[in-house]
Structure 1
Amino acid sequence: MSLKAIGQLRTIEPSELEIMLSWRNSPSVRANMYTRHEISLTEHLAWWERIQEDNNQLYFMYEFQGVPLGVVAFTGINIASHNASWAFYASPEAPKGTGSKMEFLALEHAFNDMKLNKLCCEVLAFNTPVIKLHQKFGFKIEGILREQHYIERSPVDVYCLGILSSEWHEQKDAMREKILKLSKV
C-alpha cells in the first residue's frame, strides 16, 4: 500500500515559515522543547537562514491530504558514522495520530533515503507520551542524562533514545498496518 495514506515529508516552502513559527510558539509545543521562550519572526528567519547553509541538518514539512500539519527535523547528521538525531512537532490543531504518521515517515526517510544505520533523539523526562510513542516504534532508551536541562530553575532529566536500521526494518510493516488501521477508524 502506498505511503500516501500516511502522508508525506516534503520541502518547506518559504511561504510556510510563519505558520511553522506559529506552531513552534504554541504553548503546547514550547512546553516540550529545550528552547521555551516565544520566538520572534526575526529570530526564526535568522535561524532558518543559518540552517539552510548547514549540511548537517534537514527540515521537512509533514503534509497529509494536501494540508501541512507538522515539521520533522534531522540534525547532527553524520554521514561517515551513518547516524543522526531527529525531532518533530505537529500543529496544535493536527488530528490524533499525526505524531505516529510523522514518526513512521521520518524512520522511512532516515533508513531508506538517508541510508542511516542509527537514529537518535532526546526527550525531556516529563514528556512521557512521546517517550512511549518512540518506544512503540522500536526506539530503545539508551540512557538518562540526569538533571541535564533546567526549566525555570528546576533540573529535568533527558531521555536518550535510539533505533537501528535493522530494528526498524523488522517491524515497519506491522507499524504501517497499525497506522493505516487507526486512520480508518
Structure 2
Amino acid sequence: MQTKHFELGNGLEAKPASRSDAPSLIELVRRNIKPIGRYLPPLAEVITMDRAQAHFDLVERQIAEGSLIDWHLYQDGILCGGIRLNHIEANNRKAAVGYFIDVRYQGRGLVSRALAQLLNHAFEDLRFNRVELRCHASNIPSQHVAARAGFVLEGRLREACYSDNGFDDLFIFGLLASEHVSRDPKF
C-alpha cells in the first residue's frame, strides 16, 4: 500500500514516516518521555540514533508485510506527532489506528484532524470495513478523540497494558464503514 501525503489545513501535514525524521523524532520522544513511556513504551525507547534506526527497520518491515501504514505529523514544518494504521488484516478489511502528539501541541485538535483524514482514507480509498482504536482506560484525551471521530466503545480488557505505572485496563473502540461519516480534515 502506498502511503499518501496529506495536507490537513492550517499548516498541518501528514507525511509518510521516513528515516530522515530520526533526529526530530528522537527530540520529540525525549521531550515527551513520560507520556510516551506511559502509553507507548516501545516508542519511548527511540532516544538514540541506534534505537531510531532499529525503529525504522521494524517500520519498514511491517510496511513491506502490508501490516502498517505510518505517517508523521508536521505543524508548520515541525514534527509534532504521528499517526498510523497498524495491525492491518487485508483479508478481513480491518486495521487499528494509533497516534501520539507532542504535549506542546495537545488540545489543538491536530490528532482529530489527522484521524478524520486517516479514516476517510481507510474507508474510502483502502475499502476497509472496520477500524479499531485501543487506548488505556486512564487516557481520557484519547477517549475524547475516539468519541469525536464517531467510534463506539465495544469493550474493556482488564489489566491488559503494562506501563511505568503498572497494569492498566484497555478500552477497545470500533468504527465500521457503514457508520463512518466522511469528515473534512481541515475543520
Which TM-score tier does this pair reach, normalised by the shorter chain? 0.7 to 0.9
Q: Give the secondary-structure state (helix, strand or coil) at the position aligned to 2:67.
A: coil
The offset of 1:33, in angstroms, is 2.3
Among 121, 124, 139, the alignment partner of 2:151 is 139
8 Å contact kept, 1:58–1:73: yes
Q: Give the secondary-structure state (helix, strand or coil) at the position aligned to 2:35.
A: helix
The offset of 1:34, in angstroms, is 4.5
Q: Does 1:53 align with 2:53?
A: no
Among 3, 10, 15, the alignment partner of 2:15 is 10
* TM superposition score normalised by structure 1: 0.80
Q: Structure 2: any 5+ residue segments left out of the alignment?
A: 1-5
Q: Structure 1: any 5+ residue segments left out of the alignment?
A: 181-185
Distance 1:61 1:152 in 2: 25
Q: Give the secondary-structure state (helix, strand or coil) at the position aligned to 1:15.
A: helix
Give the alignment's Cα RMSD to 1 decimal: 2.5
Distance 1:66 1:36 in 2: 21
The 1:12–1:38 alpha-carbon spacing in structure 2 relative to 1, beyond 3 Å, is closer
* TM superposition score normalised by structure 2: 0.79
8 Å contact kept, 1:9–1:105: no
What fraction of aligned residue pairs are identical, expressed as a percent?
18
Distance 1:153 1:30 in 2: 10
Q: Give the secondary-structure state (helix, strand or coil) at the position aligned to 2:138.
A: coil
Partner of 2:130: 118
Distance 1:82 1:151 in 2: 30
Partner of 1:44: 52
Number of aligned residue pairs:
174
2:36 alignment partner AA: V
